[in-house]
Structure 1
Amino acid sequence: MKITPRLALLSLATTLAYLGLAVLGWGGFAAYFAQPALVVIALATLVLAALALCTEGNLSPGEREDKANRWVLPVFGVLGLLAAFLPAYTDRLDIWTLDGEGMRWLGVVLFIAGGALRLWPVFVLGNRFSGLVAIQPGHTLVTTGIYRTLRNPSYLGLLINALGWALAFRSGVGVLLTVLMLIPLIARIRAEEALLHAQFGAEYEAYCAKTWRLIPGLY
């Protein structure tokens, strides 16, 4: 992905808006930044956003796209907005919260680890990684490295990252939103796998036979 001033500005604005909703939910800048764990979460969010700009991920429909799956994008958008605001808001009001400051720091660790796992495959795939379900020009099947045992490591990273965000705010509502994210995520995975099977046939079937879809040992 070529880093342009416009792209960098859009990414910065989106990231700041996301953090702004959390700050609003928490009750303002002074209250939010008085909590050390949340300060780390904010800094980690900015760093991850900056790293994302260094990838070649894109929104290209490529040579062939499953347009029927585009419905998941606005669903992810709505869940993301709710996840930005509600965990902080319910934490401030002590509504359905998980006790213990240790929970916040567990959330920080999961947030950073999940964010790293989310981005790592994007760097590996380069311009083959699209926000759309699509086959890119010169698309090849990656079955080594992080893809040796897991077919969708970036999506696992997304889930861990979202769970970490929820736990940093001790939010039961945030955990529920993470669970709800599985609905569009699994639909997305199935659409991608159908497209890859159509593209690579027996090669992809053999790969699926020796790997896990999302969670090693479970699914």
Structure 2
Amino acid sequence: MHPLLIRALAVALSIGLYLALAILGAGGVNAYFANQARTALVVVTLALGAASLFVGGNLSAGLREDRGNRWVFAAFFVIGLLGAYLPAWADRQGLWRLDGDAVRWLGVALLAAGGALRLWPVAVLGRRFSGLVAIQPGHELVTTGLYSRIRHPSYLGFLISALGWGLGFNTAVGVLMALANIPPLVARMNAEERLLSSEFGAAYEAYRASTARLIPGVY
């Protein structure tokens, strides 16, 4: 089977499961799509999923991998399932509501912006971008563009999009689910930086000293 077709099937299954859980949490198809902002969340999610097929990246262990970090996949999987269902359920229950449709549409905008930021580094790195913490053949230290200011723009995009999804349901439960991604994400960044430091030595340490992990001046 062609690699692109395999990738398309994987993306379709993951997005299908994610959206199905949200629809279930909202009380069914009609209840979910009764709100335009929630409908927009689906449109943006599908568009980002389609775009992800063409930006590159892989799941190769490459030349050298930190296998001890693979536990984060299980953590992200569980958080993802809960993050798909619970905000929609809380929205239906009226639990911890925020401030109306303005919050919902802010969520849609953040989902789109964060998703684009998530995909941009993948497009820049291409086959060097792996879902695993690994050194790839021809691996180079990229320090231009967004990488000149922050070391993990893709992870920043991931957090922004997770927050956007949560806000799209107008409930603080969605915000809490987005924040739940931070501990495994920090563990992932720690593992990546250890591996890159061992590979690039002083060059990476100098780069790390002059940049922020996610937000300049903050972290």
Kindly provide the CA deviation profile for residues 91-118 of structure 1, in whole angstroms up to 9, marking residues without a partner as x.
0010122121111011111111100000
TM-score, length-scaled by structure 2: 0.97
> Under a length normalisation based on structure 1, what TM-score does the superposition of the two structures give?
0.97
- Is the CA contact 1:3–1:53 (under 8 Å) kept in the aligned structure 2? no
- Give the RMSD, CA atoms, in angstroms: 1.0
Give the counterpart letter for 1:191 in structure 2: A
Question: Deviation at 1:5?
Answer: 2.2
Counterpart for residue 58 of structure 2: 58
**d(CA) in 1 for partners of 2:29, 2:131:** 32
Q: Which runs of 5+ in 1 are unaligned?
A: none
Which runs of structure 2 are paired with 1:11-160 in the superposition (5 Å)? 11-160=11-160
Where 2:70 maps in the other structure, the secondary structure is helix
Q: Does the CA contact (< 8 Å) of 2:4 and 2:53 recur in 1?
A: no
Structure 1 stretches of 4+ with a deviation exceeding 2 A read 2-7
Deviation (angstroms), 1:211:
0.7
Q: Distance in 2 between matches of 1:13 and 1:70?
A: 21
The sequence identity of aligned pairs, in percent, is: 58
Q: Distance in 2 between matches of 1:9 and 1:133?
A: 23
Partners of 1:107 and 1:5 lie apart in 2 by 31
Alignment of 1:154-169 (within 5 A): 154-169=154-169
How many residue pairs were aligned? 218
Q: Is the 8 A contact 2:107 2:164 kept in 1?
A: yes
Aligned equivalents of 1:217, 1:170: Cα separation in 2: 29
Is structure 2 residue 186 aligned with structure 1 residue 186?
A: yes
